[in-house]
Amino acid sequence: MTATEGSPERKRGKDKKDWEPRIVGFLCKWCSYAGADLAGTSRLQYPPNIRIVRVPCSGRVNPLFVLKCLVNGIDGVLVSGCHIGDCHYSEGNFYARRRFVILKRLLEYLGIDPRRFQMSWISASEGDKWARVVKELVEEIKQAGPNTEFRKGI
């Protein structure tokens, strides 16, 4: 299935004025996803640029997913898990942290704007933090501009 073809939202990189960043968030279902839910229940407003992919734990997120997003032209990727020490699976986010620190360095080495990939730790009770993180993230990605790093010559 190629659901992406012909979708009206795929107009990136053409007109800088209308450009809105597209961001993917990988959220662990125990803390960050629930925190995003709480932001909803508290009716906190944040920009609609983020699409959330629900995962059981930040440790589930394979670095390949992040790379795949960036290769596909997504402008920013966020991985968010429970606070360090509060992981539902006791140590999944430790693994995630270690993994993504390395990934971040690798991305930097590859010449990709480090702002495009970010991590955050948001608990189920931090709806406000979620809204804040998204707002800041969107701002930063806007500054970073459209992701063309993987599309040479366009």
Partner 1 sequence: MKIGVFVCHCGTNIAATVDVERVSQEAAKEPRVKFSTTYRYMCSDPGQNLIKEAVKKHHLDRIVIASCSPSLHEKTFRKCAEKAGVNPYLMEMANIREHCSWVHQDRVEATAKAIELIRLALAKVSRNKPLEYLYIPIEKKVLIIGGGIAGIQSAIDIAFANYPAVILEREPSIGGRMARFDKTFPTLDCAACILTPKMVTVSQSKHVTMHTYSEIEGVKGHVGDFTVTIRKKARSVDINKCTGCGACYNKCPVRVPSEFDMGLGKRTAIYIPFPQAVPNVPVIDRQNCLWFTKQKCGICKKICPFEAIDYDMQDEIIEEKFGAIIVASGFTQFNHAVYGEYGYGKYKDAITGLHFERMANSSGPTGGKIIRPSDGKEARDVVFIQCVGSRDEQKGLSYCSRLCCMYTAKHALLLKEHNKDAQAYVFYIDIRAAGKNYEEFVKKVQDEYGAVYLRGRVSRIFEKSGKLIVRGADTLSGAQIEIKADLVVLATGLVAQPDAPGLARMLHIPYDRNNLFTEAHPKLAPVETITSGVFLTGACQSPKDIPDTVATASAASVKALGLMVQDRLQREPLVAKVDAKTCSGCFACIQACSFTAIEEEEIEDKRLKKKRLIAKVLEGVCTGCGNCTAVCRMSAIDLEGFSNRQIMEEIEAL
- Cα separation, 141 vs 118, in Å, equals 10
Q: Using the rule CB under 8 A, is 54 a contact of partner 1?
A: yes
Of 69 and 78, nearer to partner 1 (C-beta) is 69
Q: Using the rule CB under 8 A, is 62 a contact of partner 1?
A: yes
- Cα separation, 26 vs 120, in Å, equals 10
User: What is the contact mask toward partner 1 in residues 92 to 111, using x (rule: CB under 8 A)?
Assistant: x--x---x------------
Dmax over CA atoms of the chain, in Å, equals 46
Q: Using the rule CB under 8 A, is 138 a contact of partner 1?
A: no
User: Residue 22 carries which DSSP code?
Assistant: -
- Cα separation, 142 vs 19, in Å, equals 9
Among 21, 31, 32, 74, binds partner 1 (CB under 8 A): 74
For the chain, strand residue ranges (E) read: 23-28, 50-55, 76-81, 117-121
Q: Using the rule CB under 8 A, is 133 a contact of partner 1?
A: no
Residue 111 parent element (H or E): none
Q: Using the rule CB under 8 A, is 39 a contact of partner 1?
A: yes
Of 16 and 43, nearer to partner 1 (C-beta) is 43
- Cα separation, 142 vs 140, in Å, equals 5
Would you tell me which residues interact with partner 1 (CB under 8 A)? 1-4, 7, 9, 22, 24, 29, 33-34, 36-37, 39-41, 43-46, 48, 51-57, 59-63, 65, 68-69, 72, 74, 85-92, 95, 99, 131
